[in-house]
Amino acid sequence: MKLTVLGFWGGYPYQEEGTSGYLLESNGYSLLMDCGSATLIELEKKIDPLKLDAVVLSHYHYDHIADVGVLQYYRQLHSSKEAKPILPIYGNEEDPRHFEELNLAGISKGYGYAEETILHLGPFTLTFLPTIHPVPCYAIRIHDEVSGNDLCFTGDSGYLPELADFAHGAKVFLADTYLFNGHERHVAHLTAGEAGELAAKAAVEQLILTHLPQEGDLEVLKYQAQETAGKLPVLLARRGLEIEI
Ligand SMILES: [Zn+2]
Ligand SMILES: [Zn+2]
């Protein structure tokens, strides 16, 4: 599968770049994971948004869902072009108000997932793990049957030892690293050192730091993650970054 980073900032867009949004493509199937600020404008550069096959959301904080509404409008306003299937949007049902908003008649439909769910979407198989966060949020592991490889995305999470098992053996660990060291065991996000530690315990091949902070030196963030990650390569997410997994 090909991972394309559409947005990577935590909390809010910054300097013309957006928040959480990742395009995963394999065998002609396109899955959008999270849909934060500027996701749609970046998605337009990569594929026709009408060709998107499905969306999966880690949780309903706005830096992860801000563009869901405009993605629905995009498809609604192009509905005369050609008949197309209703876009499935997968999210948790623990927040009924936001879950309901995934539905737009004739355009998109919300489907619930939970911890025990195994989702088969095109070539992808998705599994879920609840994270440590102020609202219900899930880490998502995606297996691609074409390459045989896995990506594990933490969603937003404070330090959760179970993430090491959940991500074990994945080729890429895409980790919420909103915090510099010194804020360990936070209620919402990982520190750089914690992200590196989990990646090393999970024996992944590569750690990508994402959900990045706007304040502070990102090279220091990367260094702090590398200290605990050991030899495995650590990358900072950036707009347009493409990784073959
Ligand atoms: Zn977030
Ligand atoms: Zn969040």
pTM exceeding the 0.85 threshold for the entire prediction: yes
Average pLDDT, 10 consecutive residues per value, the chain (245 residues)? 98 98 98 98 96 97 98 89 84 97 97 98 98 98 98 98 98 98 98 98 98 98 98 98 98
Of 217, 211, 171, 214, the residue nearest 195 (C-alpha): 211
Q: Tell me 183's DSSP state.
A: -
The pLDDT assigned to 83 comes to: 64
Of 32, 39, 48, the residue nearest 91 (C-alpha): 32
Q: Where are the domains of the chain?
A: 2-244
Rounded Cα gap, residues 199 and 223, in angstroms: 14
Tell me phi and psi for residue 134, to 5 degrees. Answer: -65, -20
Rounded Cα gap, residues 208 and 234, in angstroms: 6
145 C-alpha vs ligand 2 centroid, how far in Å?
Answer: 29
Fold type of domain 2-244: Metallo-beta-lactamase; Chain A (3.60.15)
The pLDDT assigned to 53 comes to: 97
11 C-alpha vs ligand 1 centroid, how far in Å?
Answer: 5
Rounded Cα gap, residues 54 and 46, in angstroms: 15
User: For residue 37, which ligand has an atom nearest its CA?
Assistant: 1
Total count of residues recorded for the chain: 245
User: For residue 95, which ligand has an atom nearest its CA?
Assistant: 2
61 C-alpha vs ligand 2 centroid, how far in Å?
Answer: 5
The pLDDT assigned to 78 comes to: 87
208 C-alpha vs ligand 2 centroid, how far in Å?
Answer: 18
79 C-alpha vs ligand 1 centroid, how far in Å?
Answer: 31
